[in-house]
Amino acid sequence: MDALVSTEWLAGELGASDLRVVDATYFLPSDGKDAAAAYEAAHIPGAVFMDLAELADTSTDLPMMLPTPEKFASRMQSLGLGDGSRVVLYDSSPYRTSARAWFMLRTFGAHDVAILDGGFAKWQAEGRETASGKEQLRHRHFTVWADSKGVRTLDQMKANLDTGAEQVLDARSAARFSGEEPDPRPATHAGHIPGSKNLPVGELFKPDGSWKRGDALRATFEGAGIDLAKPLVTTCGSGITASVLAFGAHLLGNEAAVYDGSWSEWGADRSTPKAMGAA
């Protein structure tokens, strides 16, 4: 299974015994939308709803930090996602949140994970079948496991300021990155991590909402000053759209890491240096 699959491919695979389809839509509280209610109103037949808001570390004030491996495995088991499952993720969020689910699943040991190109919007636009209500869930075993090599911490990001070993790429808007626009979180400084580059996440997509591919996608990263042959860490506001950049890099063969705390951690920490202006 490719990392990015088409609606046509998924339609042909629906019903396969090892296939699990997951709606990973997430909205910010300020959006005033209910992702769970939207799922129950309409979803791809057989799809289960992964609640990203609930799949977070509740022991920290930082938003959307990775949960413990035990909590993640327990939630996956209850959704019927188990060892040996092929998982296809989709969303209907402007933040492309299926990429955050992809990052989490890979971090916690699932390997056969893909994202549906164009998401639920493309599925619906093509007039494909949808279902409503909740799906019947069957518990499956998901081994508790974690690999932190794709996750960066605050201390690692501070150390990288001195070594420059890894390129840092920020998915936020140009105005947020430059500091022209204040951060929406209280007591969080404006600006960006010194030395980081900026690639607003929307630039990875075509006008129809599908992913850029091949040379077009590569040119987007290179236009932001990134050498995809070198190590890369992605960041954003809270680790969600950073995961989108990481998925885009993955499509081009670069296994980028994600700074999980992102700007909500760095920008609120008084000990970290902040830069202003364009990259």
Write out the residue range of the structural domain in which residue 142 sits: 4-146
In terms of DSSP H, where are the helices of the chain? 7-13, 35-41, 69-78, 98-107, 119-125, 154-163, 174-178, 214-223, 240-251, 262-266
Tens digits of residue pLDDT in 182-236:
888 888 899 999 999 999 999 999 999 999 999 999 999 999 999 999 999 999 9
Q: Are residues 215 and 255 in the same domain?
A: yes
| Statement to judge: residues 154 and 140 lie in one domain | no
| 47 and 161 co-located in one domain | no
Residue 240 resides in a domain:
yes
The encoded tokens of residue 234 equal 């992605």
> 169: domain CATH number?
3.40.250.10
- 84 occurs within a structural domain: yes
Which of 105, 128, 146 terminates a domain? The answer is: 146
Give me the number of domains the chain comprises. 2
- Please tell me the predicted confidence (pLDDT) of residue 57: 93
Average pLDDT, the chain: 96
What DSSP designation does 136 have? Answer: P
Residue 139 pLDDT greater than 90, yes or no: no
| Residues 99 and 153 reside in one and the same domain | no
pTM, to two decimals: 0.97
Q: Which residues are catalytically annotated?
A: 236
Look at residue 137 and tell me whether its pLDDT is greater than 90.
Answer: no
Residues 8 and 128 in one domain: yes
Q: Are residues 153 and 135 in the same domain?
A: no
Whole-angstrom Cα distance, residue 154 to residue 236? 13
* Residues 24-65: tens digit of each pLDDT: 999 998 899 999 999 999 999 999 999 999 999 988 988 899
Domain final residue, candidates 109, 126, 146: 146
Residues 11 and 132 in one domain: yes
Last residue of a domain, one of 91, 125, 146: 146
Looking at the fold, whether 10 and 137 belong to one and the same domain comes out as: yes
272, part of any domain: no
Please compute the mean of the pLDDT values over residues 107-117 and round it to a whole number. 95
Between 58 and 261, name the one with better pLDDT: 261
